[in-house]
Structure 1
Amino acid sequence: SLRSFHLAFIDQFAVPKKRFNSAAFDAKVNEGNAKFQKAIANEQFTARRPVLIDLKAQFDADAAHIRSKASRAKITPALATEMKKDVNKIYDHALGR
């Protein structure tokens, strides 16, 4: 699912003291973009497309945030925890839970 991918992305790249691999990061961002674009394009209920677009925007924002923090060696143990908590809230809200 998109949620699982998003959470795994955070787990993979929001890791304190881990050397930031820009090429792997960019490849995973591209993979995520493709997954979101496909989900948006394949969504049969047009009313759900804006929700998917919002979830993609959150993924983009999280990717930019991780890149920024990693470039300044500012990834803390709390970062991934907080980001994942926020992602779960956003997906729960988007799915009307």
Structure 2
Amino acid sequence: MIESLRNFELAFIDEFAVPGKKFTAAAFNAKVNEGNAKFQQAIADEKFTARRPVLGNLKGQFDADAAHLRSKASRGKITPALGTEMKNDINKTYDHALGR
């Protein structure tokens, strides 16, 4: 489940952290809503209650990443390094969540 969430978030960054791409709030919001639903479902389905806070933390990170990306994209401030940096941070966060 955690790997599925990681893959979703990395694809989200690939889709919206594109320099020069026109920011479309409706498409962005739809993808954020999809992500929120995935995280909420993962938390609800998690049988090990000790893992739920980890999933909650990952959702909080997704929310923060989405807000940061929305801010940058809506102002046309996406740089090639931004997506790479965000994906590196996401991978570190998920690796930590998986105990790697």
Task: Give yes or no for TM over 0.5.
Answer: yes
What is the CA-CA distance between 1:43 and the residue it aligns to?
Answer: 0.3
What is the CA-CA distance between 1:21 and the residue it aligns to?
Answer: 1.0
Q: Which amino acid aligns with 2:90?
A: V
Q: For the residues of structure 1 that align with 2:15 and 2:61, how far apart are their CA atoms?
A: 17
What is the CA-CA distance between 1:71 and the residue it aligns to?
Answer: 1.5
**Given the alignment, which residue of 31, 35, 48 partners 2:34?**
31
Spell out the pairing of 1:1-97 with structure 2 (5 A cutoff): 1-97=4-100
Name the TM-score, length of structure 2 as normaliser. Answer: 0.96
Give aligned pairs, total.
97
What is the CA-CA distance between 1:88 and the residue it aligns to?
Answer: 0.2
Unaligned stretches of 5+ in structure 2? none
Unaligned stretches of 5+ in structure 1? none
Q: CA RMSD in A?
A: 0.4
Q: Which amino acid aligns with 1:94?
A: A
The structure 1 segments of at least 4 consecutive aligned residues displaced by more than 4 Å after TM superposition are none
Q: For the residues of structure 2 that align with 1:18 and 1:77, how far apart are their CA atoms?
A: 12
Q: Secondary structure at the match of 1:10?
A: helix
